[in-house]
Amino acid sequence: MSNKKFTGTKAGKIIYWIATIWLALGMVSTGLMQLMKKNGQGGIDMLTHLGYPVYLLMMLGIWKILGAAAVLVPGIPIVKEWAYAGFFFIMTGAFFSHIAIGDSAVELFPSLLLLILTILSWYFRPAGRRLLLAK
């Protein structure tokens, strides 16, 4: 079944909204933790554990919150595409950073889950939330 046929179905819409809501919740919650510079998962300890400078916390936190808003708000499809791309880059970067330093599956799981939710949300987004390219 092609993407075009399946995404317009009721099941496609349900998958889209479940993935999108969980994606937005995950990005907002980790973004807020990064803005508050909390230690532990997503905070200073995690960033230094991965070998990154602490100043990235503020930037990543802001991007995640703005991206979640862009994905949820109707309209502005070009901004949605940029938000999805940003989420993809952030989560693949986090996932491979954990692999590079030899972290266990427990540390890999959050970034992998958010990466999968990003892909599902993007793939199943309704026609009204897609960027229409001129033919």
Structure confidence by residue, pLDDT tens digits, 57-110: 999 999 999 999 999 998 899 999 999 999 999 999 999 999 999 999 999 999
Q: Which domain holds residue 40?
A: 3-126
Q: Is residue 135 part of a domain?
A: no
Alpha carbons 111 and 5: distance in angstroms, whole number? 29
- Please give the distance of CA 129 from its chain centroid, rounded to a whole number: 16
What ranges in 36-55 are assigned the alpha helix state H? 44-49
Assigned domain for 134 exists = no
Residue whose pair of structure tokens reads 């070009």 in the numeric block: 78
pLDDT at residue 1 tops 70: no
Q: Is residue 133 part of a domain?
A: no
Cα separation, 128 vs 8, whole angstroms: 11
pLDDT in tens, 12-45: 999 999 999 999 999 999 999 888 876 665 578 8
Nearest to 41 by CA among 111, 102, 93: 111
Please indicate, yes or no, if residue 132 is contained in any of the structural domains: no
Report the domain count for the chain: 1
Extract the tokens encoding 23: 């994606």
Q: Find, among 45, 42, 28, the residue nearest to 94 by Cα.
A: 42
